[in-house]
Amino acid sequence: MKPPLKISAVSYLNTKPFLYGLFQSELEQSIDLSLDIPSECARKLIAGEVDLGLIPVAVIPQLKTPHIISDYCIGTEGAVKTVCIYSNCPIEEITELYLDYQSRTSVALTRYLVANYWKINPQFINAKAGFEGQIKNHTAALIIGDRTIDMGVTYPYVYDLGEIWKKHTNLPFVFAAWVSNVALPPHFLKQFNQALGLGIQKRHQVAQLFQSSYLNFNVHDYYHKYIDYELTKEKRQALKLFLNYIEPKREALQSQ
C-alpha cells in the first residue's frame, strides 16, 4: 500500500470549501492533510516535508520545479475583505507599516503597491505575533486572514489590497495556489481537481456550516463575492505579472 500523499492546506475560513470537497471525496483515505498558516504551508513545501501545498504564490520562485496542479486557487476579482492595511490616518501619512508574518504574498503585494500605486516610503517592520496592537498614530499594519474579520469597524482607514491591485492593474489577483515540487500522478490530479471543484460547488452549504462562528460576518457573501476560486486565464496573467515583479528573471512556471 502506498503511503498517503502529504498535503499542507491553509487553516483560514477561505479554504473551508476546498477541505469540504476533499473530505467528501475518495481521496480522504489516501492523503495526510495538515492545516497551517500560509507561511508554514510554504515552509513545509520548500523543505520537502509535504508533497503538495496551498502556498502563497510569492514563494513559487523559491521552488526548483514548481507545478501548479489545479484549476482552483485563493483569488479575487477585486476586494478580498481579509487582506487589508489598517490605519488611524490616511495611508499617505503613515511612517511605519507592520507586515504580517503569516503570508509572503500579501507582504510582497504590499511592497509592490506602496512603491507603484501609493508611491510612499514608510519604514517596513517585519511583524511578530501580537503586532496588531501596534496600530496607532502614524503606524499602520498589514493584517490577513480570519483575524481581520470585524477589524474594519475598529480603524477609520482600511485599504483592501485586492481592490487596490484591481484599480492599479485592472486584473484579478491570486493569493495562493495548489503547488507541488514534483510531477504528481495524472489519476491523482484528476481526483484532486474534482474534489476541489465539488467543494466550490457546495460553498453555499459550507457557508451555512460556519456562519454561526462568525455572527457579524457574512460567510456566504465572502465565498461568493470576495473570494474567487477559479484559476482563470486572467488570473494566470495577473500571477505572471506579480511574479515578474518579485522575481524578474524567473523562467516561466512549469504547469500540469
Q: To the nearest 10°, the Cα dihedral for 191, 197, 203, 205?
A: -50
Q: Is 123 helix (H, G, I), strand (E, B) or coil?
A: strand
- Yes or no: is domain 5-75+172-255 CATH 1.10.510.10? no
pLDDT for res 26: 87
Task: Report the percentage of the chain scoring pLDDT > 90.
Answer: 84
Return the pLDDT at 1: 56
- CATH-assigned architecture of domain 83-169: 3-Layer(aba) Sandwich (3.40)
CA distances from 37 to 69, 123, 146, 247 (A): 20, 25, 11, 23
Residue with cell 523562467: 251
pLDDT band at 256 (very low <50, low <70, confident <90, very high): very low
Torsion-angle region of 171 (φ positive above 0: left; ψ -120 to 50: alpha; else: beta): beta
Domain layout of the chain by residue ranges? 5-75+172-255, 83-169
3-state secondary structure 165-202: HHHHHCCCEEEEEEEECCCCCHHHHHHHHHHHHHHHHC
What is the rounded CA–CA span in Å between residue 204 and residue 25? 18
Determine the Cα–Cα distance for residues 26 and 54; give it in Å rounded to an integer. 20
Q: Same CATH topology for 5-75+172-255 and 83-169?
A: yes
H/E element, 9: strand 5-10
pLDDT in tens, 20-46: 999 999 888 889 999 999 999 999 999
Query: pLDDT above 70 covers what percent of the chain?
Result: 96
